[in-house]
């Protein structure tokens, strides 16, 4: 596979993903990473922020799950924590309305030197409010769609990459299935790149496939390894 590198793309830490995406997460559009819990979504998102920092560009990391770990970032950055951390701005919305406010004011946050905005996990606050007020599901679905539309437009106008992560639940999780298909469909619709992560029998190995890539390349499944240093192609170890 030849890799036509596009300047401005943000490397993910997986050479395979980067090749499919023409050098990494594309600027000017939304990329989606989805998978079950513990499949490395947050790790991959952090690696993108770290690689963005290495290029001297800032990331707005919106930690909707409250799972951002400084310890994990320290592991991923190895000895360059201090230099990296100054390029990562962390936001912790406490509810779906606060998430909306961040999105609606994104152009004020992401001034010149920002190249990436991450929402990890994009639908966790949506799920929470839907479970609290089921009669509002229709209205909340529309709001989810609106947020993604605003994000897509902001990415394009401001030439920033937007990465959203999404958690899918296994049938064993017993979550209400009513919101799942809508949320998944809406996120996939707005994403120009879709990275799917699936667990394997080995908890350190994850199966990755590109469901959608801007280069429209034929894709197959690849294995990634999660370890202390982050998440990388199996073959590179
Ligand atoms: N220091 C580490 N060494 C090895 N594996 C790690 C380390 N830190 C986290 N992990 C693994 O990473 C996975 C969790 O990754 P994470 O990115 O949080 O997943 P997700 O966001 O999809 O829930 C777990 O399987 C965990 O065992
Ligand atoms: Mg996570």
Q: Which ligand is closest to the CA of 46, given by its number?
A: 1
The pLDDT value recorded for residue 40 is 97
Instruction: Indicate if ligand 1 lies below 6 Å from the C-beta of 71.
Output: no
The pLDDT value recorded for residue 216 is 81
Q: Which residues contact 79 (CB under 8 A, 6 or more apart)?
A: none
Is pLDDT of 191 > 90?
yes
Is pLDDT of 146 > 90?
yes
Higher pLDDT, 20 or 169: 20
Higher pLDDT, 46 or 1: 46
Summarize the confidence of residues 19-44 as an average pLDDT. 95
Is pLDDT of 181 > 80?
no
Please name which of 60, 119, 68 lies closest in space to residue 87, comparing C-alpha atoms.
60
The pLDDT value recorded for residue 39 is 96
The pLDDT value recorded for residue 78 is 87
The pLDDT value recorded for residue 5 is 47
Instruction: Indicate if ligand 1 lies below 6 Å from the C-beta of 124.
Output: no
pLDDT confidence of 217, banded at 50, 70, 90? confident
The pLDDT value recorded for residue 87 is 96
Q: Which ligand is closest to the CA of 13, given by its number?
A: 1
Higher pLDDT, 201 or 216: 201
* Helical spans, DSSP H, in the chain: 15-20, 41-54, 70-77, 81-85, 96-104, 106-109, 124-132, 137-158, 180-190
Instruction: Let me know the angle formed at the C-alpha of 79 by 53 and 227, rounded to the nearest 5 degrees.
Output: 90
Summarize the confidence of residues 215-228 as an average pLDDT. 90
- Classify 235 as helix, strand or coil: helix
The ligand 1 atom at the shortest distance from the C-alpha of residue 75 is 1
Instruction: Indicate if ligand 1 lies below 6 Å from the C-beta of 38.
Output: yes
Q: Which residues contact 96 (CB under 8 A, 6 or more apart)?
A: 125, 126, 128, 129, 140, 143
Is pLDDT of 53 > 50?
yes
The pLDDT value recorded for residue 166 is 95
**Residue to substitute in 123, 198, 226, 230 for testing ligand 1 pocket (most ligand atoms within 8 angstroms of CB):** 226
The pLDDT value recorded for residue 3 is 43
The pLDDT value recorded for residue 1 is 47
pLDDT confidence of 220, banded at 50, 70, 90? confident
What DSSP string describes 134-157?
Answer: GGGHHHHHHHHHHHHHHHHHHHHH
Is pLDDT of 169 > 60?
yes
pLDDT confidence of 201, banded at 50, 70, 90? very high
The pLDDT value recorded for residue 4 is 46
Ligand 1, atom 23, lies closest to the CA of: 38
User: How far is the centre of ligand 2, averaged over its atoms, from the C-alpha of 66 (Å)?
Assistant: 9
pLDDT tens digits, one per residue of 78-126: 888 999 999 999 999 999 999 999 999 999 988 879 999 999 999 999 9
The pLDDT value recorded for residue 109 is 85
The ligand 1 atom at the shortest distance from the C-alpha of residue 165 is 21
Ligand 1, atom 3, lies closest to the CA of: 228
């Amino acid at each position: 596979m030849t890799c036509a590198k596009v300047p401005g793309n943000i490397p993910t830490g997986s050479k395979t993903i980067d090749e499919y995406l023409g050098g990494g997460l594309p600027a000017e559009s939304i990329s989606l990473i989805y998978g079950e819990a513990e499949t490395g979504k947050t790790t991959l998102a952090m690696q993108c922020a770290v690689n963005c920092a290495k290029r001297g560009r800032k990331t707005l990391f919106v930690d909707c799950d409250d799972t951002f770990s400084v310890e994990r970032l320290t592991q991923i950055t190895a000895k360059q924590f201090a230099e990296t951390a100054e390029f990562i701005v962390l936001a912790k919305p406490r509810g779906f309305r606060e998430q909306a406010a961040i999105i609606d004011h994104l152009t004020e946050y992401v001034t010149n030197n920002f190249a990436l905005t991450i929402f990890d996990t994009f639908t966790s606050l949506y799920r929470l409010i839907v479970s609290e007020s089921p009669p509002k599901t229709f209205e909340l679905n529309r709001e989810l769609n609106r947020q993604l539309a605003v994000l897509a437009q902001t990415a394009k106008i401001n030439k920033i990459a937007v990465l959203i992560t999404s958690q899918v639940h296994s049938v064993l999780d017993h979550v209400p299935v009513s919101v799942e298909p809508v949320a998944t469909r809406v996120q996939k619709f707005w994403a120009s790149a879709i990275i799917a992560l699936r667990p394997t029998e080995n908890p350190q190995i994850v199966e990755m496939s590109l469901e959608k890539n801007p280069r429209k390349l034929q894709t197959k499944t690849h294995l990634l390894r999660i370890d202390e240093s982050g998440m990388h192609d199996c073959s590179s170890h």
